[in-house]
Amino acid sequence: MKLDAKALTAMKGKSPIAMLTAYNCPVARYLERSGIPVILVGDSLAMVERGLDNTRSVTIEHMQYHVDAVRRGAPNTHIIGDLPYQTYETEEAALKNARLLINAGADSVKLEGSFPEIIAVLVSNGIDVVGHTGLTPQTANNFRQVGKDTEDAQRILREAEEITGAGAFLLVLEHIPDQLGEEVTRSVSIPTIGIGAGPACDGQVLVINDMLGIGDYLPPFSKQYAHVGQIVEQAAEKFKTEVENRSFLTNE
């Protein structure tokens, strides 16, 4: 049964929320079968799928394509679609682009940073919104941990409260100290979803490629549950050998 925004918000303090990213139909299908309740179609696809250095080159058309594919694979899972860089700078643009993702199959949209006016407009137009503070890759110059000094920690706390007050139903906290993750989680009324924000968050999200070991870089705050990249490489090497020595399809 697909969980809506209200049901997910109600899980705060009751049941931890597991979230993973997905970018295509087959992976989404496996995640739904596993019981993962929320799939994020993240603009992280720029780096883990397209091999780019940052997330800023993702377009709304890219996101529509991938949201559509993931929805086809996971018809009964709550899907969050990321609003790309510079697609929510005005209320009109945010509403237009959010509707494009909803029409592509997303149940809700996520945007980075404190934009309470934008969030409020989306929510007032019936669009469920996920907030995101801490490290915000769309505008960050690097991927170092943030919120380590008092001033920056206070900024993140303030943004968390602004995002919550504007009507978001979930809040992603990225790459901040564990203690700050716990403090934000206590201070807001909506569930926090951590990615490198400590175990006290109300839920956790991982990039699927990081979790499966697909790629050459594992963020320091991530966790690897498989080594699929090695399996692909080994299988390809075996196929190549069989073709070259003409044993392919000639042995049992």
User: Is the pLDDT reported for residue 87 higher than 70?
Assistant: yes
User: Is the pLDDT reported for residue 252 higher than 70?
Assistant: no
- Of 113-122, 135-144, 230-239, 243-252, the one with minimum mean pLDDT is 243-252
Q: What mean pLDDT comes out for the span 226-242? A: 96
The catalytic residue positions are: 174
User: Is the pLDDT reported for residue 251 higher than 80?
Assistant: no
Domain boundaries, the chain: 5-226
User: Is the pLDDT reported for residue 117 higher than 90?
Assistant: yes
Say which CATH topology domain 5-226 has. TIM Barrel (3.20.20)
What pLDDT band is residue 180 in, cutting at 50, 70 and 90?
A: very high
pLDDT digits (tens, 9 = 90+) for 31-55: 999 999 999 999 999 999 999 999 9
pLDDT of residue 1: 84
Q: What mean pLDDT comes out for the span 82-107? A: 98
Please spell the DSSP secondary structure of the chain, one letter per residue: ----HHHHHTTTTTSPEEEEE--SHHHHHHHHHHT--EEEE-TTHHHHTT--SSSTT--HHHHHHHHHHHHHH-TTSEEEEEPPTTSSSSHHHHHHHHHHHHHHT-SEEE--S--HHHHHHHHHTT-EEEEEEES-TTT-SS------SHHHHHHHHHHHHHHHHHT-SEEEEES--HHHHHHHHHH-SS-EEEESS-TTSSEEEE-HHHHHT-SS---TT------HHHHHHHHHHHHHHHHHTT-TTT--
pLDDT of residue 250: 80
Mean per-residue pLDDT over the chain, rounded: 96
pTM of the model: 0.96
User: Is the pLDDT reported for residue 163 higher than 90?
Assistant: yes
